[in-house]
Structure 1
């Protein structure tokens, strides 16, 4: 309480809050920090994935450990095995494409790690903040009943700290929702671009002169 009335600064509201409301605020702050960590990591990861997806149809020889090189090596392995005698050209192309898609899809699944944190925070944080608000307002009404005083000086601090919990919940949820939608859209575009490039590469490999499988390889496959 200041000489001019109740202290409604953020620090005072947090320190004076009920333990339950403080716990809600701390939980929301931790969730927000985790979300920002995921956002920064996804910004870096998706930027690198986008460059590697574009590189799939640009590089000729797979070198290094990048995604584009891994995808092309997988396709090259299938192409070098050659076609079976009973395998059509389309089936050969599909086999090459499946091998490359498998590598690419595995990397895309790894890139999705962390997105559930954004989705959960974006959907749950407002309700957690609302719970803190409801709890704080209940305490305010309880204090009014005990003091038999309905003046603004009595009501304002409790209601302010309660509403502050909702504000923190919204501050955590809004960036999380925006980041999740942005990441989901960008992942979809990268996936589409990568699969398109893989289809082009598979078609190109399948049109190269046929490489027959060695007899030993065919015999092992038949067994």
Structure 2
């Protein structure tokens, strides 16, 4: 009897996973749990790539906007500034300025056409508003992916958790034993899948909130510049009338 107990304990010990590192848990996992883990890891890597790209881009855009506003408000002729940045705008703010100046020149330069001040002003404002929207769409690209990962990754990890626990119950039913050596592998896989889901979701949610706030502030800055530039053109129209 004593020998049987010793043999049972030894068998249980040998059934325990020898490698409890993340890589070991992945290798020992069920194929479905492995798929869940791979999806979560790939989603996390892609999220971090998006986060780094957005942070760098927003910093660059803010610096470019500061430099452009310094040139715009320096008091120099707008025509000279347009000749400098109009053909190839380097940032959204200069693109908004170029769109407004392009419409101004196109309407004011048509010989023999008498254009109403209200109609020209509305067209300029509409063109700049369209440009602002188009530029913001480019800046917000891939933000939906961050939101999707932040909201779905915990549930994907939960699916891996449920599947791992199901494997544990299946092992219990197959061996008719509640020995820790029987249930531990499935539980370890389940907890690891849950952890990966949280690792993917938490940075995605935090980054989405922060980057969305920064994009909204930058969009408000573009709208403010568009309104100020429209007011300047409107005054020039009134002076030319």
Aligned to 2:126: 98
Q: 1:183 to 1:33 in 2, by over 3 A?
A: same
Post-superposition offset of 1:5: 5.4
Aligned to 2:6: none
Aligned to 1:217: none
Bigger radius of gyration among the two: 2
Contact 1:128 1:169 in 2 (8 A): yes
Post-superposition offset of 1:153: 2.2
Q: What whole-Å deviation, never above 9, does each CA across 1:32-86 have from its counterpart, x for those lacking one?
A: 1111111111112222222344455433313243133322222112323249757
Matched, 1:110 2:122: no
Post-superposition offset of 1:9: 2.6
Aligned to 1:77: 102
Matched, 1:166 2:201: no
Matched, 1:87 2:116: yes
Match for residue 223 of structure 2 among 191, 195, 199: 195
Q: 1:59 to 1:93 in 2, by over 3 A?
A: farther
**Which 5+ residue runs of structure 2 have no aligned equivalent?**
1-11, 73-80
Larger helix share, 1 or 2 = 2
Q: What whole-Å deviation, never above 9, does each CA across 1:115-153 have from its counterpart, x for those lacking one?
A: 111111111111110000100100111001111211222
**Which 5+ residue runs of structure 1 have no aligned equivalent?**
213-223
Aligned to 1:218: none
Question: Secondary structure in 1 aligned to 2:116?
Answer: coil
Contact 2:172 2:183 in 1 (8 A): yes
Match for residue 45 of structure 1 among 28, 39, 57: 57
Aligned to 1:32: 44
Q: What whole-Å deviation, never above 9, does each CA across 1:9-38 have from its counterpart, x for those lacking one?
A: 322211111110001000111111111111
Matched, 1:153 2:181: yes
- State the number of aligned residues: 211
Higher relative contact order (CA 8 A, sep 6+): 1
Quick one: distance in 1 between partners of 2:147 and 2:124?
35
- TM-score by structure 1 length? 0.84
